[in-house]
Amino acid sequence: MPRRPFRGRPQRDPGPRVNHQIRIKEIRVVDEEGEPLVVLETSDAQALANRRGLDLVEIAPNQRPPVCKIMDFGKYKYETKKKEQASKKKQHQVQVKEVRVRPKIAEHDIQVKVKRARGFFDNGDKVQIVCLLRGREMMHKDNARAVCDYVFKQLADVARVEREPRMEGRRMIMLLAKK
């Protein structure tokens, strides 16, 4: 029978220590209004928090003596989770979107691709222009370069070149970023 691999100890919750998890003898206590109280023994501070129907939460464990606050821990966790979600909502991951063209592409098709690229720039993304070459088109790399330059010229008011056009196999790639 195969043995189960050792996974180590279960990880402790990285949040602050609460109530009976605080094992140091003396702590500095701050009440629920933020008023600093005196240095108390942990058992006395725990009893004070219990009388008020609240929790004792360690907020500054590196201080000597550590600072603990009397508060509603469930409400504290809820508020910190909401703040974290709000900050994540404001963040935007920059993605690289790809627009593919060919050396013999028609003018209207280029305009459609340019319009799509403008939409990507409006969302704050980068755009990678890829010109695909097939067969004998590889002998005329200057046509692919001309198409990439023309697409950039159409986007010059909103974009800047982050990486000049260069060949990678059968593809000519140019990276554009928002101005």
Interhelix angle 141-155/107-122, rounded to 10 degrees, is 50
Same domain, 106 and 163: yes
Asked if residue 122 belongs to a domain, the reply is yes
Looking at residue 30, which CATH number applies to its domain?
A: 3.10.20.80
Domain boundary pick from 87, 114, 131: 87
Highest mean pLDDT among 60-64, 75-79, 88-92: 75-79
124-169 per-position pLDDT tens digit? 899 999 999 999 999 999 999 999 999 999 999 999 999 999 999 9
Q: What is the mean pLDDT of residues 45-63?
A: 86
Strand ranges for 10-95 from DSSP E: 26-30, 36-41, 55-60, 67-71
Given this model, what pLDDT does residue 151 score?
95
Same domain, 59 and 107: no
Same domain, 158 and 131: yes
Asked if residue 12 belongs to a domain, the reply is no
Domain of 154 in residue numbering reads as 96-178
Asked if residue 1 belongs to a domain, the reply is no
